[in-house]
Structure 1
Amino acid sequence: MTHNPLLQDQGALVFSHMGFYVEDLARMTQFYTQVMGFTQTDHGDLGPVQLVFLSRDPTEHHQVVLATGRPDNLNFNLINQLSFRVRDVATLRSVRDHALQTEGVHDMQCATHGNAVSIYFRDPEGNRIEVFLDTPWYCEQPLREVIDLDQPDEAIMARAEAIAKSRPKFQSRATWQAEMARRMGYVKD
């Protein structure tokens, strides 16, 4: 097997954006700009395909590209999920409440993974979206337990911590991140 230089230089390969096909470009653009807070940075045609470029980061021209041409005969979504991080429980609740008021949004679920508190829902074309808040803990995954976002912030975080602590590999997120940095070659032994 040949040497892979991407394994040595952590900055050589950095995830930037994703694109996916949609059925209704206008509806999906409206959803991602009005509900998910993206800004449309560009749009246009590339041959027969219409594209909309969206970003939430002024240093990235686009983080999501919506493209026309999604086949209407698929019986499942090819996208497992799009995930977005928020800074606090209040923002998580706000996104949940706004999404629930949006036509076409469905399948809202609130959960904790111990290492995060999340909401999951489907956009108007059925793609799953996760919006999450990191917790200060690590616990082995997969783990998913229902959580009530209408509880006070302290109760939500206490429940997430208790669930995380119940797992055998529980540790602080900082400890886990330090080990991952070592394993990924960011920190030399």
Structure 2
Amino acid sequence: MNKRSGLSFSHIGIFVTDIQRMADFYVDVLDFTITDRGTLQGPEGPIELVFTSRDPDVHHQIVLVSGRPERIDFNVVNQISMTADSIETLQAFHRRLQRADVSEISPVTHGNALSVYFRDPEGNRIELYVDTSWYVSQPARIVMPIELPADELLAWAERHARTLPGFRLRSEWRADMARRMQS
């Protein structure tokens, strides 16, 4: 079965305080490329935009927009999530993050994914993750030993996931979701 037609997620834009610092972070730490940048007139004056992408077919995946106040009481963006192509990639980014200007680095498993959470320089929470081939009921969040070799980490995660409620193969969960989304 195919994904739902009509809409698909494209990109996100976030307000930032120090646009150059944030652009440098997304380029240097997360390997985004600046695809465009410029200024538009906004209701309160000029705003600067930096468009970034990791995909040559997509002009922008994250847009950085100037104008975020220095102090805000609450950030309404819970997280920005990106899929890694392998456990090894996830582990390499974890090592890179430990040397970068980030805080709250937290490697966890959700049962159905292996994730590394952290905060960018302005406090936005980011998740890098790899899906697993199984599903467990959500929410689930368990600290994981990301330093294990990739095959051992995956085996550890599956052993743990099998103890959680709702464990089943991802293919079974997907078939159920496809049926539910068709109705």
Fold shared, TM-score > 0.5 on shorter chain = yes
Give the deviation of 1:78 after TM superposition. 2.2
Query: Shift of the alpha carbon at 1:119?
Result: 0.6
Distance 2:151 2:52 in 1: 34
- Distance (Å, rounded) in 2 between the aligned partners of 1:159 and 1:145: 12
Match of 1:91 among 69, 89, 92: 89
2:149 aligned with 1:152, yes or no?
yes
Partner of 2:113: 116
CA deviations over 1:99-127 (Å, ceiling 9, x no partner): 1211x311111111111111111111111
**Alignment TM-score, normalising by the size of structure 2:** 0.92
Give the alignment partner of residue 26 of structure 2, picking from 22, 32, 35: 32
Match of 1:56 in 2: 54
Question: After the TM superposition, which parts of structure 1 deviate over 2 Å for at least 4 consecutive aligned residues?
Answer: 75-78
The separation in 2 between residues aligned to 1:153 and 1:109, in whole angstroms, is: 17
Q: Distance in 1 between matches of 2:128 and 2:167?
A: 23
Aligned length: 177
Shift of 1:61: 1.1
Q: Report Cα offsets for 1:41-88 as digits up to 9, x if no partner.
A: 110001111000111122211111100000122023222111111122
Q: How does 1:69-108 map onto structure 2 within 5 Å? A: 69-102=67-100, 104-108=101-105
Distance 1:73 1:152 in 2: 41
Pick from 23, 28, 41: which aligns with 2:17? 23
- State how far apart, in whole Å, the 2-side matches of 1:169 and 1:148 are: 23
Instruction: Please identify, of 75-84 and 42-51, the stretch whose mean Cα deviation from structure 2 is larger.
Output: 75-84
Q: Hey, what's the Cα distance between the residues in 1 that align with 2:132 and 2:4?
A: 25
In 2: Cα distance, 1:161 partner to 1:130 partner: 20
RMSD: 1.4
**Cα deviation, residue 17, structure 1:** 0.7
Runs (5+) with no aligned partner, structure 1: 1-8
> TM-score, normalised to structure 1's length?
0.89
Q: Measure how far apart 1:22 and its partner are.
A: 0.2
State the AA in 2 paired with 1:33: V
| Secondary structure of 2:137 counterpart | coil
Contact 1:115 1:160 in 2 (8 A): no
Q: Which residue of 2 aligns with 1:3?
A: none
Mean alpha-carbon deviation: is it higher for 10-19 or for 40-49? 10-19
> Match of 1:78, as an amino acid?
V
Task: Say which SS state the counterpart of residue 148 (structure 1) adopts.
Answer: coil
- Identity of paired residues, percent? 46
Q: 2:156 and 2:111 mapped to 1: Cα distance? A: 8
Name the SS of the counterpart of 1:184 in structure 2: helix
For residues 93 and 133 of structure 2, the distance between their equivalents in structure 1, rounded to whole angstroms, comes to 21
